[in-house]
Amino acid sequence: MTHEAAEALRLLTERGETLAVAESLTGGLVAAELVAVPGASKAFRGSVTAYATELKHKVLGVDDALLAAHGPVHPEVALQMAAGVREALGADWGIATTGVAGPEPQDGKPVGTVFVAVQGPGAVASGSTPNFAGSRKVLELRLNGERTEIRMESVRSVLRLLAEELVGGLSGERTGNERAQDTEQNGGF
Strand partners, 19: 44, 93
Per the domain annotation, does 35 fall within a domain? yes
Per the domain annotation, does 179 fall within a domain? no
**Mean model confidence pLDDT for the chain:** 86
Enclosing domain of residue 64: 3-168
pLDDT band at 187 (very low <50, low <70, confident <90, very high): very low
Residue 124 has pLDDT above 80, yes or no: no
Asked whether the CA dihedral 178, 169, 140, 119 is positive or negative, the reply is: negative
Per the domain annotation, does 106 fall within a domain? yes
Q: What is the pLDDT of residues 30-41, one digit of tens each?
A: 999 999 999 999
Kindly report which listed range (82-86, 145-149, 172-176) carries the lowest average pLDDT score: 172-176
| pLDDT of 145 | 96
| pLDDT of 173 | 34
| pLDDT of 2 | 77
Per the domain annotation, does 175 fall within a domain? no
| DSSP reduced 3-state for 146 | coil
Q: What is the mean pLDDT of residues 81-87?
A: 97
Per the domain annotation, does 181 fall within a domain? no
Kindly report which listed range (4-8, 33-37, 55-59, 184-188) carries the lowest average pLDDT score: 184-188
Q: What stretches of 16-52 show up as alpha helix (H) in DSSP?
A: 29-35
Per the domain annotation, does 189 fall within a domain? no
Residue 135 has pLDDT above 90, yes or no: no
Instruction: Assign residue 60 the CATH number of its domain.
Output: 3.90.950.20
| pLDDT of 164 | 94
Per the domain annotation, does 187 fall within a domain? no
Residue 86 has pLDDT above 60, yes or no: yes
What residues have CB less than 8 Å from 69, skipping those under 6 apart?
A: none
Q: How many domains does the chain have?
A: 1
Per the domain annotation, does 61 fall within a domain? yes
Q: What is the mean pLDDT of residues 166-170?
A: 74
| pLDDT of 181 | 34
